[in-house]
Structure 1
Amino acid sequence: MEKQIVIEENGIHIVFEIEEDRSFKLLHFSALPFQKEKITQAMKEAGFNFIEMNLYGFDRPHERHGNKYIVTSHGFRMKYVSHTDERNEKGRVLKFLTTDEETDMQVESVWQFYDGIPIVRMEHRVENRGQEMQTLDYISTFNYMGIEKEGVKRQDEKLLLKLPHNGWQREMNWKDYTLKDLGMDLVQPKEIQRSSNHFHVSNTGNWSSKEFLPMAYLENQETGSSLYWQIEQNGSWHWEIGDQNGHLYLALGGPNELYSHWFKNLKPGESFTTVPAAVGVSLGGFDSSIAELTKYRRRIRRKNQDNETCKIIFNDYMNCLFADPTTEKEIPLVDEAAKAGCEYFCIDAGWYAKGFWWDAVGEWKESRERFPNGLREVTDYIRSKGMIPGIWLEPEVMGINCELAKKLPDTWFFVRHGKRIYDRSRYQLDYRNPEVREYMTSVVDRLIQEYGIGYIKMDYNIEPGIGTEYLADSPGEGMLEHERAYLKWLDSLFEKYPELVIENCSSGGLRIDYAMLSRYSIQSTSDEEDYRYYATIAANSPSGLTPEQSAVWSYPLPDGDREATVFNMVNAMLLRIHQSGRLDKISDDEKTLVKEGLDCYKSIRGDIKNALPFWPLGLSDFDDEWVALGLRTEEKIYLSVWRRSGNTPCISIPIPNGRGKNAEVICKYPSFSESAYEWNPGAGSLSVNFERENMARFYEIKLCEEN
């Protein structure tokens, strides 16, 4: 007789079932209660596996069309052994043990809950306890069939997928899709649907978010329930939605053979742990889901002072020196950054090469041509102005014209087909090699000891592809183990230097993932050079990472006017300010506006670390005329509003829970407002009137008693 395990925790309804033959099923994972009549016995027999896992040399037990990771060889073979239900300092934790009795492959699964947050973090550890080697080419981290089962409408009419496209200078670019948009129309009888096509999103390589963020949001528009997820992996990952025997499934995981050239040979006694993933539920729509995800991201992140203080960084790169630093150029920028109120001053790329620096990176020694009296002269000057010096570093690469790279053995680098991997005139270092880790630790030690560095911008500007064959069963396995070794190296740096602030940058935002961001306190969001487009990236960025980790450039231009300067400052006001631009060449009026903006930021930044984001006009598209981002605290609401090009000078912006309430509204920045605004208590909205194009304002709203 079947036995159900029913879990209700933090608003998540979960139902597992142990079948008579001890097959283990996940029948339900939702914000809504389980309706058992939605699943027939025949459907259960053909799906709902708790894990999908594929080993070579075994047949699939049921029909599957195409390349879907469903009906895997061992998904149906795994049998329930035992489980525990306990608590730790984070919350409830479930552990399941399943096994394949023929091969003696055993999987320990851990589901970690977090008190007060409707999200579960999951991972599996598979161990070969048998007598023969087994080749693993896929294992899901989360596998849930029945994502469409609530409600009565057709699945291709009620499900909406929000997908975060990402790319260089196009980060956080969310788009909405129905199943029909994705080519998944329901044209077969529902109970036999198993089309060869499915919708899958993958990343292959070391830039984890070069095409998509490793997350998404799926809403049942009929019932108002939603699922949302993030895969916490700093390299290759994969998720898919497909159909099988009357239901749709969602499968999340890390690298696999089909899409990322990964497989691993497990000898007797060897094990493999999956990439972690977090999955949440909601009945409150997208904003509510991201609010919960924000809480979760804060919960799993390394505790650090930087996210408590949200200090202001000046970086000399964007629309400023553009990787051409010299003592002569830096000194006036240091002076102006200090006057404006910046607290870190980061010297960006180029400090180690006399001329073209791109293909010579790797030794990280100062250029005396650029700094005749040494780099220490500039870093000491930064300190004398009350700021902490920072430096740019690209620790995972060496240029093909780096003299050290020419002397090192291939064992330091990614290798395929017997050759070092090239990309953009750089080699990829292999962090599985302890000599690589020791060398880069010595570089960091030297920068801190010789120059007093307290901030490092760690950049990464290549894509080495599928991985390395050296000492690996597959290129994807070499890649994954390198990425895990790199994370351990980061952990060792933070253990050694707990006050050191390290920024995660990958040509802007091409590695926005919570394998990285559970460690780094701050993340570059983009290399976007046009402040008007940056409004979209800035406004959408709290969907991909917490506001206090989201570094946004502000770069007033020498040929700009005061509205352009205000627009730049508002871009970063609710996030982390990466101040840049030629502060030494802008007008005095613009300098005053920069300082006013930084002073305003300092007055509100203590709230950012606890505030939750919302989007009163929805997520922004790059061609939107109006853009809005809000952060809400227990006592007040902060609202950034932008108007770009268009024909609508006035708009009413709905504020959550504002209907029927009075409100105190002030324009916090700039002080010369010159734009009309008015609170509408009946509608619970703020009307603003921006007479000219390309304007921005920053407001503080306190909701009062109801009318």
Structure 2
Amino acid sequence: MLVKENNRIYDSSIANTDIAEETISVLSEYILGDITVRYITDRNRQVGLWLYPAHFTLPLSEKRRTLDNEKWARGHLKGRIAIKVEPLVHIKINGDDQPGEFGGGRTMKWSPSNERFHLVEQKVEDDKIVTILEDKSGLRIFHKLEEGTKGILKSETSFVNGSEKAVKLELFTSFSIGGISPYDSSDAGEKILVHRFRTGWSAEGQMVSESIEHLHLERTWAGKTHLSERFGQVGSMPTRGWFPTTLVEDTAAGVTWGARLEAPVSWQMEIGRRHDDIVMSGGIADREFGHWTKTIDTKETFTPPAAWLTCVAGTVDEACERLVSVDQQAAEEQPAIEQELPVIYNDWCTSWGEPSEEGLLDTAKKAAELGVKYFVIDAGWYTPTDKNTNWVTSFGDWIPEKERFPNGIRAVTEKIREYGMIPGIWFEPEYVARDSKAFQETEHLLKRDGVPLTVGVRRAWDLQDPYAIAYIHSRVTEFLRKSGFGYLKVDHSETLGIGVDHPDGLGEGLRCQGEGTLSLLESFRKELPELVIEITSAGGNRLEASILQRCSMNSCSDAHGVPEIPIIAASMHRLILPRQSQVWAVLLAADSPREMDYSLSAAFLGRMCLSGEIAQLSVGQRKRVSRAVSLYKRVVPVIKYGSSSIINRRNASLRHPKGWQAVVRIRENEGMIVVHTFEEAPDEISLHLPGSRWKITDSLSAAQTDIKGDVLKIYKMPGFSGNVFVIVRE
């Protein structure tokens, strides 16, 4: 880390008036990896954070100090400021005045609470830059920034109550980056794009790119008005609606800033502006957005979930790759078998919630012959065969149904292991369903307004309650151990919504439940160290960092056997590691070779998961699947450690796609290209490869191709077909 201190960069007008003369200066400057971290301050000892690429050839612009160069600025309007120090942590304390300038209901940033805190110290401690702010009563804010994986910074904030009375927080951010963009001397008109990722059930992770102008965040003519696009998710499904990943791109400079939150429950991001520069911040969903307040007693400390930050002289794909790389270390620490990225079979699209010993074992032998390693029994194994109940209303007691498993479920797991596979099973351990006995354990279930919280057919265990934890340990953990399972699929198929009862309110109750979820996941692996854990949440509604780092993989979507699968799977490359992204290939006996290739090639975009009519496939179809599995195993190193570029030449619709897409994933001198066509596919597909001297050494199916220089051309792929090309550099 290199440090520069007390360097004046320009004069500006700040403080409590709009026209006061004041100096903004550089407090310190560090180089962390390839990112320059600049802390700025003013005479009131407020502190802000800027990031920009180190050693970038494009110089920073000298920011204007006033708006006097604009035509309208004359007379009494002269000297109106253009930029201020934007707080590196935003805070709102209950009882303090509300922020003005039309922000109420739209943002809680820029609260007068921020003005209470002033710099008392900045130091480097254990390779972390620690900035300490304090108010007169003894309240302190700690901001810690450290280098993570390549090109990544970890931002952590803490609030310490050193005063003589309790205080209640209404907003406390995990990060805030100001000074966007330092490559423009004024307000960077028509240069800034915001990239976000919308998500929904079976429609996960679709990137939305909008200009600052389109978001209605242009600086007002006089400045200072509190403008903010506040967005996020409220509930226990953290990637329902939006992903907690956001990027801001200066298209003229070619620089992208990115942030990714750890957020097991409600969270928010804000793209805000008062003056010339854009401010990006985020953390726990605040009182207005997420119904959150938290009382901090005297001598107590509160630390919210961390945020991961990057700044790259490069593309959105490059910034996203950096942000997801923080999960790589945790993935490496999963059970040793996971380093092979084994192929999964899941019986959901085979039995559709009605598994049986006979059907499972009939399929298991054939799955093993195809190269499957994990054989997973999905929902319904506990469901009575009485048609008056079904899998979704009867879970929670977790007792295997004897009619489905006449020889006991242990007999099934033993047979699966005889075939050389690891048996897995589905649970939804945090919830209980309407027809279970556990549904009536209301003393130990979550409540809202004193009433058991029922969401559809579900109620949830209070994960702060020792009885609930003991119940889950007995019915889930011990069941896995005694029954011989080595793979656990953890579902969470409803959201708890705005929150649950807690003395500080619904939002804090939900935050505590989220902490319980993380502890529960940790307990499974602590008790069963070799257990492989898959997370799903009605598909991809829990694809966020803190949960991803506590499991082996996630089901990226509930899209099964439908045209949008490869589109969703490709979008996941920007949001989670492909090695953790389970992609379903549902195979039917009636499938044509083209239909099979469409499904199988999509599974190369992450972790291959087979389902469907495996036992009914013809000899020729089984050979096709075996061929795909063998090719998949060959490219495992590329899936694990490659870098992806997504080429999108399709329309906006997921349900009715037209055109084509490709994902080029490269690891050093090897790589793979996964191509899918849709309706109205062209006769010729042309895409650029990174550099030249590439050759195709294998493919999923035969294709007409040609490589010249860095251009690959693929000819006559019919609509709704897929293919995988293995490439190496000569």
Quickly say closer, same or farther: Cα 1:691–1:247, change in 2 above 3 A: closer
The 10-residue stretch of structure 1 (340-349 or 66-75) with the greater mean CA deviation from structure 2: 66-75
User: 1:98 maps to what in 2?
Assistant: 133
User: 1:689 maps to what in 2?
Assistant: 715
Query: How big is each residue's C-alpha offset from its partner over 1:317-343, in whole Å with a ceiling of 9 and x where there is no partner?
Result: 13x211111122212111211111100
Query: Residue 637 in 1 paired to residue 671 in 2?
Result: yes
Q: Is the 8 A contact 1:643 1:690 kept in 2?
A: no
1:71 to 110, 127, 131: 110
For residues 308-707 of structure 1, the aligned pairs below 5 Å read 308-318=339-349, 320-355=350-385, 356-406=390-440, 408-410=441-443, 412-469=444-501, 471-617=502-648, 621=652, 622=654, 623-656=657-690, 658=691, 661-670=692-701, 673=702, 675-681=703-709, 684-704=710-730
Distance 2:331 2:43 in 1: 41
Q: Is the 8 A contact 2:26 2:38 kept in 1?
A: no
2:157 to 124, 143, 152: 124
Distance 1:176 1:21 in 2: 37
User: 1:223 maps to what in 2?
Assistant: 253
Query: Residue 164 in 1 paired to residue 197 in 2?
Result: yes
SS at match of 1:486: helix
User: 2:74 maps to what in 1?
Assistant: none
Quickly say closer, same or farther: Cα 1:45–1:596, change in 2 above 3 A: closer
TM superposition shift of 1:448:
2.5
TM superposition shift of 1:40:
3.1
Distance 1:589 1:523 in 2: 31
For residues 274-313 of structure 1, the aligned pairs below 5 Å read 274-299=304-329, 301=331, 303-304=333-334, 305-313=336-344
Quickly say closer, same or farther: Cα 1:39–1:12, change in 2 above 3 A: farther
Distance 1:438 1:96 in 2: 41
User: 1:81 maps to what in 2?
Assistant: 120
Q: Is the 8 A contact 1:61 1:76 kept in 2?
A: no
The 10-residue stretch of structure 1 (414-423 or 621-630) with the greater mean CA deviation from structure 2: 621-630
User: 1:51 maps to what in 2?
Assistant: 89
Q: Is the 8 A contact 1:23 1:77 kept in 2?
A: no
SS at match of 1:346: strand
TM superposition shift of 1:266:
1.5
Query: Residue 214 in 1 paired to residue 255 in 2?
Result: no
Distance 1:252 1:619 in 2: 32
1:109 to 140, 143, 154: 143
TM-score norm. by structure 1 comes to 0.92
Query: How big is each residue's C-alpha offset from its partner over 1:125-171, in whole Å with a ceiling of 9 and x where there is no partner?
Result: 10111112211010111122222342368545111122111111101
SS at match of 2:617: coil
Distance 2:497 2:180 in 1: 33
Query: How big is each residue's C-alpha offset from its partner over 1:194-244, in whole Å with a ceiling of 9 and x where there is no partner?
Result: 25x531211100000111111022211011011111111111000111220
Distance 2:366 2:330 in 1: 37
Distance 1:121 1:562 in 2: 47
Query: How big is each residue's C-alpha offset from its partner over 1:54-105, in whole Å with a ceiling of 9 and x where there is no partner?
Result: 0011125874534223211321221112222144xxxx4212221112x321
TM superposition shift of 1:413:
1.6
Counterpart AA for 1:642: H
Distance 1:607 1:145 in 2: 36
SS at match of 2:614: coil
Gaps of 5+ in 2: 1-5, 7-24, 67-79
Aligned residues: 683
Q: Is the 8 A contact 1:16 1:25 kept in 2?
A: yes
Distance 1:211 1:703 in 2: 41
Counterpart AA for 1:558: A
% same residue: 23
Query: How big is each residue's C-alpha offset from its partner over 1:537-574, in whole Å with a ceiling of 9 and x where there is no partner?
Result: 11121111001101000111222101111111111124
User: 2:265 maps to what in 1?
Assistant: 235
Query: How big is each residue's C-alpha offset from its partner over 1:584-609, in whole Å with a ceiling of 9 and x where there is no partner?
Result: 12222211111111111122213422
TM superposition shift of 1:182:
2.1
Query: How big is each residue's C-alpha offset from its partner over 1:114-135, in whole Å with a ceiling of 9 and x where there is no partner?
Result: 25x2221111110111112211
RMSD between aligned residues: 2.2
SS at match of 2:248: strand
TM superposition shift of 1:27:
4.5
Q: Is the 8 A contact 2:477 2:527 kept in 1?
A: no
Q: Is the 8 A contact 1:162 1:216 kept in 2?
A: yes
Q: Is the 8 A contact 2:63 2:184 kept in 1?
A: no
SS at match of 1:573: helix
User: 1:5 maps to what in 2?
Assistant: 28
Distance 1:221 1:45 in 2: 21
SS at match of 2:195: strand
Q: Is the 8 A contact 2:259 2:308 kept in 1?
A: yes
The 10-residue stretch of structure 1 (360-369 or 26-35) with the greater mean CA deviation from structure 2: 26-35
Gaps of 5+ in 1: none
Quickly say closer, same or farther: Cα 1:605–1:691, change in 2 above 3 A: closer
User: 2:22 maps to what in 1?
Assistant: none
Quickly say closer, same or farther: Cα 1:225–1:97, change in 2 above 3 A: same
User: 1:14 maps to what in 2?
Assistant: 37
Q: Is the 8 A contact 1:15 1:34 kept in 2?
A: no
TM superposition shift of 1:446:
2.5
SS at match of 2:329: helix
Distance 1:424 1:8 in 2: 51
TM-score norm. by structure 2 comes to 0.89
User: 2:71 maps to what in 1?
Assistant: none
Q: Is the 8 A contact 1:541 1:547 kept in 2?
A: yes
Q: Is the 8 A contact 2:584 2:609 kept in 1?
A: yes
SS at match of 2:417: helix
Q: Is the 8 A contact 1:28 1:34 kept in 2?
A: no
User: 1:144 maps to what in 2?
Assistant: 177
Distance 1:376 1:419 in 2: 39
2:65 to 29, 40, 63: 40
SS at match of 2:544: coil
Distance 2:711 2:154 in 1: 37
Counterpart AA for 2:46: S
TM superposition shift of 1:273:
0.9
Counterpart AA for 2:499: G
Q: Is the 8 A contact 1:210 1:510 kept in 2?
A: yes
Q: Is the 8 A contact 1:128 1:268 kept in 2?
A: yes
Distance 1:3 1:47 in 2: 11
SS at match of 1:615: strand
Distance 1:599 1:63 in 2: 62
The 10-residue stretch of structure 1 (240-249 or 272-281) with the greater mean CA deviation from structure 2: 240-249
